[in-house]
Amino acid sequence: MLGAVGGIAAVVLAAALVLRLPTLIAPALGLLGAEYATFFALRGDTVDVRAPLYGAAFLLVAELAFATLELRAGKPEAGLVARRVAILVIVALGGILAGALVLAAAAAPLDGGVALEAVGLVAAVGLLVGLGRVAVRSR
């Protein structure tokens, strides 16, 4: 069942790229996200340690799909593709790192009490906000 949803998502994404319809990229990504969410829900209470990798791959698929359609519009400036690739790799690696830190924090024992948990939550949110600002500045 889940493989069928992933297959449909891949077909919709391929159609978006072949037909040059950027409006189909979001539904394809939505189907991929729904497939993973359903998989996660069916697994129960276990934490998926691969979630940061999935998130980075999801980001890469989305960015590369939109970049493919942009590149078909014309020839990019010299060095633009290299800069975009470098930024995308940095953001994806940052996302993996942030996700791994959040998973590590989630797996830590709660013996420190509510105060320690609040500090960890603030640190995780601060890290995500920092990564978001870096991503916005890089555009």
| Digit-coded pLDDT (tens) for 84-135 | 889 999 999 999 999 998 888 777 776 767 787 788 889 989 988 988 888 7
Q: How far apart are CA 78 and CA 60, in angstroms?
A: 22
Residue-wise pLDDT for 64-94, tens only, equals 999 888 876 677 787 888 898 899 999 999 9
DSSP 27-78: HHHHHHHHHHHHHHHHH-S---TTHHHHHHHHHHHHHHHHHHHHHTTSPPPT
Predicted local confidence at residue 17, as pLDDT: 92
Question: How many Cβ atoms sit within 10 Å of the Cβ of residue 52?
Answer: 19
**What per-residue confidence (pLDDT) applies to 73?**
67
- The string of pLDDT tens digits covering residues 19-70 is 999 999 999 999 999 998 888 888 776 778 888 999 999 999 999 999 888 8
The H helix count followed by the E strand count for the chain is 5, 0
